[in-house]
Homo-oligomer: A and B are copies of this chain.
Amino acid sequence: MQNFEYQNSTRIVFGKGTIARLEDLVPADARVLFAFGGGSIRKNGVYDEVRAALGKRTVEEFSGIEPNPRFETLMKAVEVVKAKKLDFLLAVGGGSVVDGTKFIAAAARYEGNDPWQILLDAGASVKDAVPLGVVLTLPATGSEMNSTSVVTRGATQDKLHFASPKVLPLFSILDPETTFTLPERQVANGVVDAFVHVVEQYLTYPVGAALQDRQAEGILLTLIEEGPKALAAPKDYNVRANIMWTATQALNGLIGVGVPQDWATHMIGHELTAKYEMDHAVTLAVVLPSLLRKQKATKREKLVQYADRVWGIRTGSEDERIEAGIAKTEEFFRAMGVKTRLSEHNILASDVAQIAAARERHGLPLGEHGDIGRKEIEEILEAAV
């Protein structure tokens, strides 16, 4: 096991009726930016619950944070925070709203000339941030309990991430009932996203970290069991609760301590989203199976363990078991209604070189061994057409 540090102080408030807790979680004298996305929270009652719980505090609303939040949009919110001297940010929505609010938090207190630098140096230049809290309405990214944010610059199609302990949410309210009315596509995407977060931290090479493996496998097994139920019975509280808590645990740092991590699937996927506006999870579902096949040699031991412990595949040659495990993964994504081939998104072999070139511009090589360069990305994408 590798040496590690782990600290995560986000206060999780989980369960039915917990949005009312904002009343005591947000400082009584706070001047609040209430940040959200589109209109869904107005339809499902969350907007009203949040406004009621915030009571007589000064509240400025900022709506319109889009999926794959844009730098250009977020900078408008930064102006509001500065102009109105707001001192607390409340993100209400899914991972995009939370990620966007983290960037607003850091950019509003940024001392340099251009806050885009925060993305260029992956957060190294963040010295301070406005405190923030979260009301989560879409389980997927884990952003509600980590220090990471992904932001897209529309003008240049750059999708980059940053991380800083300064933007870790002080609290996150997770009420599974807020997810009852989610569109199927978002439920499915959330499950796939959480699944791939685990895989990025688990399917590398063994370092003898027995518990982290078991914890990762436990999350995968839960998603495999509960994901399809969420589509079949959207108002089953326990199913929604399990998916919500599982997505948080998939990327709050815990399963990644002391082990190598990959993240190549995410890095390649970001290019597909930036160029084609594909849903984040959809890019992962396309890239992952192909990447696992390509990296079979270096991920061999963990792929065999994955096939065994997650999919119960214990017969056949090692290669057969590995392939069966990857095939099961792809089947699971498709059973959730998420397509797994580039051609299903009208992306063809002739587009591949350009995607790989964009990734090269944002930094290579990728993977836990640093052995995925431009040529390997092209091969992974060609095999995923």
Binding site for B on A (CB under 8 A): 1-18, 207-211, 214-215, 217-219, 221-222, 225-226, 237-238, 241-242, 245-246, 249, 254, 257-258
Contacts and interface: CB of A to CB of B under 8 A. Distances in A.
Copies of this chain, tallied across the complex: 2
A242 B254 CA distance: 14
A24 to B, nearest CB: 12
B209 A242 contact: yes
Nearest to A215: B218
B2 A238 contact: no
A13 to B, nearest CB: 5
B10 A7 contact: yes
B14 A241 contact: no
A222 B3 CA distance: 19
Nearest to A2: B15
Contact of A219 (B5, B6, B10, B211): B211
A357 B286 CA distance: 65
Given A1-B241, A1-B242, A249 B14 contact: no
A11 B165 CA distance: 13
Given A8-B8, A10-B7, A218-B217, A246 B211 contact: yes
Contacts of A225: 210
Contacts of A215: 215, 218, 249
A9 B6 contact: no
Contacts of A9: 7-9
A15 B4 contact: yes
Contact of A16 (B3, B217, B218, B245): B3
